[in-house]
Structure 1
Amino acid sequence: MRKLAMQKPERYVEFSDLSPEDRLLSPVLENYPAVFELVREGSRRCWTEGYRLTLTAEQLSSEEENAMKQMEDHFVTVLRKVLMLSIGRRLPLEKLVYLAPHLGLPNDFERRLVHQYPHFLHLVTLKDSTPLLKLTSWDAQLALSLEEVKKRQVLQSKASDEKMELITTMEKFLLPKGYNLSKRHRKMLARFRNAPFVSPYEDPRDFDCLEIKFEKHAVAGLKELLSFTVEKRMTLDTLAHFSQEFTFSYKPRNLVLRHPQYFYLSEAGNQETLFLREGYHHGKLVEKNPLVLMKEKFGTLLGTRRIAGPKPLC
């Protein structure tokens, strides 16, 4: 409703112009006077009703739009890296729509990003008319995982006598408090930890799904994808749409439960949400990008609700 108003020159929307679904939500707008102003215009015999954004809400919306424009390069890089994580280096456009909100992409990312950056991304159409988003070319500089980047930063910033100690700490198996795993599970995790690192950007099509190399690739890929998300989390329902496109989307719930040192699964709100553990500290995001900060500002604004008075006596 807010974004619809921002598309109008005067930030004003008539209720008669709303879709049937949005019209059902219109009575709720009066509960948020800091965001929406209900308007009645015209004469007694001919008047229209609608809503307009408050000045504060309009300013925040403009600030959000500016932040989205400034992050275009970041969004393009994220799209390229997500495609590089996929098994075929391509993804159906209709499936990307489910992933886009988690990545913070604009609703019209196809127009704003894909068509504007053909030297990085391009669309192809299959014989069954399915549009696919593909990489224009592979970029070796982007094919570095979050884990590899962190190690490089450590090696570049620390004295030689501290390097190995810090890298060992990064690779150390840290089981969250309250997890009592079976002896068999712990042995599996020990084998997993000691196995050679596998880049999530390595082509997995020749991997045996029963080998530990496949699981190393899947875990690294899932960590990488979650690191791209705005809030370092994603619903399992979203991953379910990509059952054939990523190694980690094959039975993702099992993969997450096997590796509690990296992931946390919450079942709050009647849906399962997957969290990247290293993205949080004491339940709060370690780093907040501009879109998260904007979301918090809008949350504060929405928290200013109208308190209903006593019902009139009849």
Structure 2
Amino acid sequence: MQSLRRRLPSIPHPSLPLHRNFVDARIPWVRDRALDHVVEKERYLLPFLSLKDHFLSSSPSPPHSLPLSSITPLKSQLSLPCRAVEFVRLFPSAFTETLPAPPLPPVPEIRPTEELLSLHEEELQAVALSDSDVADRLLKLLMLSPSRRLPLRLVERLRWDLGLPGDFVRSVLPKYPDYFCTSASKSKHGELDLEVVFYRRDLAVSAMESYAKRTGEYKTGSPLAFPLHFPRNFKLDKKVRTWLDQWQKLPYLSPYESGSHLKPKSDLAEKWVVSVFHEALSLLIGKKTEKSNLVLLGEKLGLPPGFKRAILQHPGIFYVSNKLRTETVVLREGYRRHLLVEKHPVMDVRYRYVHLMHKGKPAGTRGEKKKTASVDEETDAQFDDLDVEDREFDDYGGDEEEEDDDEEESDDDNYGDIEVCDSVSKGLLGLKVLEGR
């Protein structure tokens, strides 16, 4: 293994302060409905694919049918949002319910449709073709760590976002013995770490540096500004804007270099932290992940105290969506409105799954949504009840702006209605609508 990361030389700029000159600025939070839709449209996708995989593994031979009674107890096993039978019946274009021919007993059977099976084959091909690409992404993620290792449990949490298959420990890691190895954790007894075997210097180039080198002359350590994409109606205080302009002109420190020599809570340290999060999100095929995953990653990478605020202090770089009862951090430059700028083959197949999930909805579905409690409305209410200091950002923007955004998003993908299986719906199997018009 090559030696651990070298220390970057200090590159002060004579006209710019390296310490914070606008301390703990409060940055407003403005809802971005396009990026909220990015998060919302994958609702139920993971349990849907888990159920699909269960069908194909439990009944590997065509027609892959299973008795209705056999899928009933699968709710907790597959993390389904409602009873397995009800969940299956939400997707008539993906699963069909039939009765076996006599003399077999008339026990209903569920089987995947030909369209679902066809998509499954395309998914397998996409995963196989992107195998080396995903391995490089995983290697780069490990290379961000000063110790060149991360807990295997954390990697498993990021598996979906990295595009790794569910059995990646058995199917991917053995193919790259020169990249990865597992070893006993140094911090937790009984835990395993995933470790870098060979540090590839040619991969230790961040997305920011790579873009700068492609578009112009760039010298390591020179100032490099992050692309900023503010939402509509976003207003920034003049003092904050001045601070941001100066912060952008600070030297760019690669996330693959050590920032341990930087003074904590300095502007330069914050720019390095932002570069680490920017690179981590760039490595994910969907350019987003739950905020809790980024926080755990930051802790394991040894980022300086207060690193979480860097996510919220830079809304032009990161967007934090509170949809689906969680906080999801989205890399703004990865999207043009609700569409990925660079669509990974695995993401392309996932979006086609989403489209299939919303096809063939039964008549009357749209009308039922008014009778059903909206989980998203309840979630927004919960966030509104939280103290602003706890959330670390302000809800900035009103209903009038959201109505305008609704009209603007009328060209969204044709995703039909999907109903929310949730206890707050008082027993009704309702739908929270992701309307594609």
Into which bin does the TM-score normalised by the smaller protein fall? 0.7 to 0.9
Match of 2:299 in 1: 244
1:228 aligns with 2:287: no
1:280 aligns with 2:335: yes
1:152 aligns with 2:213: yes
Determine the C-alpha separation between the residues in 1 that align with 2:159 and 2:237: 38
* 1:173 and 1:193 in contact (8 A); partners too: no
Match of 1:22 in 2: 75
1:129 aligns with 2:182: no
Q: What TM-score results when the alignment is normalised by the length of structure 2?
A: 0.62
Q: Secondary structure at the match of 1:240?
A: helix
* 1:236 and 1:252 in contact (8 A); partners too: no
Letter in 2 for 1:40: L
Q: Secondary structure at the match of 2:201?
A: coil
Match of 2:155 in 1: 96
Letter in 2 for 1:13: L
* 1:240 and 1:249 in contact (8 A); partners too: no
Shift in Å at residue 61 of structure 1?
A: 0.6
* 1:261 and 1:277 in contact (8 A); partners too: yes
* 1:217 and 1:247 in contact (8 A); partners too: no
Percent identity among equivalent residues? 25
Cα deviation, 1:204-230, whole Å, max 9, x if unaligned, reads 344432333322221111111111222
Shift in Å at residue 50 of structure 1?
A: 3.2
1:143 aligns with 2:195: no
1:61 aligns with 2:111: no
Q: What TM-score results when the alignment is normalised by the length of structure 1?
A: 0.84
Structure 1 residues 281 and 232, CA gap change in structure 2 (3 angstroms): same
* 2:264 and 2:305 in contact (8 A); partners too: no
* 1:175 and 1:261 in contact (8 A); partners too: yes
Determine the C-alpha separation between the residues in 2 that align with 1:59 and 1:171: 41
* 1:30 and 1:306 in contact (8 A); partners too: no
Letter in 2 for 1:131: L
RMSD: 3.0
Structure 1 residues 168 and 219, CA gap change in structure 2 (3 angstroms): closer
* 2:89 and 2:95 in contact (8 A); partners too: yes
Match of 2:249 in 1: 194
Structure 1 residues 143 and 222, CA gap change in structure 2 (3 angstroms): same
| Gap regions ≥5 residues in structure 1 | 157-162, 310-314
Cα deviation, 1:139-193, whole Å, max 9, x if unaligned, reads 110000011111111138xxxxxx9xxx999667665553333344334323321
Number of aligned positions between the proteins: 302
Determine the C-alpha separation between the residues in 1 that align with 2:120 and 2:230: 41
Structure 1 residues 175 and 299, CA gap change in structure 2 (3 angstroms): closer
Match of 2:409 in 1: none
Match of 1:51 in 2: 110
Please say which of residues 132-141 and 255-264 is displaced more in the overlay.
255-264
Structure 1 residues 207 and 176, CA gap change in structure 2 (3 angstroms): same
**Structure (1/2) with the larger helix percentage:** 1
Q: Secondary structure at the match of 1:241?
A: helix
Please say which of residues 247-256 and 265-274 is displaced more in the overlay.
247-256
Please say which of residues 292-301 and 142-151 is displaced more in the overlay.
292-301
Match of 1:312 in 2: none
Structure 1 residues 16 and 86, CA gap change in structure 2 (3 angstroms): farther
Match of 1:180 in 2: 235
Structure 1 residues 168 and 238, CA gap change in structure 2 (3 angstroms): closer
Determine the C-alpha separation between the residues in 1 that align with 2:316 and 2:159: 27
| Gap regions ≥5 residues in structure 2 | 1-50, 77-82, 365-437
Match of 2:55 in 1: 5
Match of 1:300 in 2: 355
Determine the C-alpha separation between the residues in 2 that align with 1:54 and 1:244: 44
Match of 2:139 in 1: 80
Of the candidates 244, 257, 278, which is equivalent to residue 312 of structure 2?
Answer: 257
Letter in 2 for 1:86: S
Determine the C-alpha separation between the residues in 1 that align with 2:61 and 2:341: 38
* 1:5 and 1:12 in contact (8 A); partners too: yes
Shift in Å at residue 45 of structure 1?
A: 7.2
Determine the C-alpha separation between the residues in 1 that align with 2:362 and 2:342: 34
Letter in 2 for 1:6: L
Structure 1 residues 132 and 171, CA gap change in structure 2 (3 angstroms): closer
Shift in Å at residue 284 of structure 1?
A: 2.5
Structure 1 residues 243 and 226, CA gap change in structure 2 (3 angstroms): closer
* 2:224 and 2:248 in contact (8 A); partners too: no
Q: Secondary structure at the match of 2:66?
A: strand
Of the candidates 320, 323, 326, which is equivalent to residue 268 of structure 1?
Answer: 323
Structure 1 residues 118 and 17, CA gap change in structure 2 (3 angstroms): farther
